[in-house]
Amino acid sequence: MRGFLAALICLVISELSVLAQSMNPDVSANGLLLYRKGNHSSSVNSDKPNGFSIQEIETQLSSTVDPYFKANFMFSFEMQPGENGKSPEFHFSPEEAFVETLSLPMVTVRAGKFKAFLGRHNQIHTHARPFIDQPLAYDKILGDEGLNEVGISAAYLVPSPWYFEIVAQGLSARNNNLFDKDSADDIAGVFFVKNLWDLTDSTSFELDGTYGIGNNAQASKTQLFDAAATVKWRPLAYSSEQSVAWTTEWLHAMHQMDGTGAHNEAGVSSWLQFQFLKNWWLESRGELYMTGAYDNVQTKKASGLIGYIFTEYSALRAQYDAQKEQAKKLEHRVSLQLNISIGAHPAHAY
């Protein structure tokens, strides 16, 4: 009898433990330790200061809420330059916080604060970027956080022989670079199309397009255009230690001015990623940022990176940048990044 009671108690405890685990969200954290050395970054108030820093600490909680919704909440601590001569400070903010539907046929609705479906790079979090920094066009046109606003989106997977997704989004027009609206009534619309084809058993081709429009601070409209193409090659063999990915992305913002015409700014980035051994990656990137007429090049940038990926939870990367802005001397910068993840981190986008 005692043996039966002991077995029953163990069974109950086991079931309660499983139930408790199923009710808890998946929790993960990522930390980026960064060292920089550049000839334009001696001041602590620089946007990319020299020396050691915590580039970002990100914590994520994700879980299925019920048969109808799943939720993702991501918070980040980020070191930002000090103001008025003060030392750099950590800023805490909700990076993303949204719910997503599970049960609607062919349509997925997302609501909350999220990185907009835009181009090839906007949805990528800092620790998953191909390079240590984001593309120059994103930095100049969209700002540090990219297009990351509160709103709602609906994604429809078109029944077609290839992967064909259409996304319509309504977002608050608060992005400082694009819209800079103080009015809470203004909503920006962003429309995204993604196509993915399998060219061979080991090669795929992705083509994305984005259009956005919203009111700006000049009492007129800002329009956003983006086109991105990616080719990926990875052999089918499980033991293969090589892969290649090549992406080119063009981003263009046209700001209508009230009675004074339009201000254009655009940028193109092209980067190549080559995995030549199981843990080793080589990457290169070339970029241009232009304003006004397309022959008015404001900034040129070239980058090279070598990375050793210990596991999916840790990586060490070194990057060199050469950047030339008009009326400024050529900037050389070397960055070294240690990337550490713990916990049940969700899979990154393909």
138-157 average pLDDT score: 93
Question: Structure tokens of 292?
Answer: 């006004």
pTM: 0.86
Residue (of 220, 301, 229, 277) closest to 253 by Cα position: 220
- Is the per-residue pLDDT at 349 higher than 90? no
12 CB neighbour count, 10 Å cutoff:
10
The per-residue b/e assignment along 207-229, b for 16 or more CB within 10 angstroms, e otherwise, is ebebebebbbbeeeebbbebbbb
DSSP-derived secondary structure for 71-94: EEEEEEEEEE--STTPPPEEEEEE
If pLDDT is split at 50, 70 and 90, which confidence band does 73 have? very high
d(CA 54, CA 337): 10
Q: Give the SS3 label for residue 245.
A: strand
305-310 average pLDDT score: 97
What are the domain boundaries of the chain?
Answer: 99-343
At 77-106, the pLDDT tens digits run: 877 766 665 666 777 888 999 999 999 988
Question: What is the residue type of 347?
Answer: A
At 7-29, the pLDDT tens digits run: 544 544 454 444 444 567 889 99
Identify the bridge partners of residue 225 per DSSP, sorted by sequence position. 211, 252
- Is the per-residue pLDDT at 331 higher than 60? yes
CB 89 within 8 A of CB 77: no
pLDDT at 271: 98
- Is the per-residue pLDDT at 147 higher than 60? yes
Phi, psi for residue 40 in degrees, rounded to 5: -120, 10
Q: What is the 3-state secondary structure (H, E, C) of 92-143?
A: EEEEEEEEEECCCCCEEEEEEEEECCCCCCCCCCHHHCCCCCCCHHHHHHHC
CA distances from 97 to 126, 127, 276 (A): 16, 18, 37
pLDDT at 42: 61
If you search the block for the tokens 């670079």, which residue do you land on?
Answer: 177
Residue (of 119, 121, 186, 114) closest to 154 by Cα position: 114
Q: Which of 21-30, 89-98, 242-251, 278-287 has the lowest mean pLDDT?
A: 21-30
pLDDT at 178: 84
If pLDDT is split at 50, 70 and 90, which confidence band does 156 have? very high
pLDDT at 41: 66
CB 103 within 8 A of CB 177: no
112 CB neighbour count, 10 Å cutoff:
17
Phi, psi for residue 173 in degrees, rounded to 5: -90, 60
35 CB neighbour count, 10 Å cutoff:
15
At 169-225, the pLDDT tens digits run: 999 988 888 887 676 678 999 999 999 999 998 999 999 999 999 988 877 899 999
Candidates 2.40.160.10, 3.40.50.300, 3.40.50.720, 3.60.150.10; CATH matching 99-343: 2.40.160.10
- Is the per-residue pLDDT at 282 higher than 70? yes
Residue (of 261, 211, 204) closest to 231 by Cα position: 204
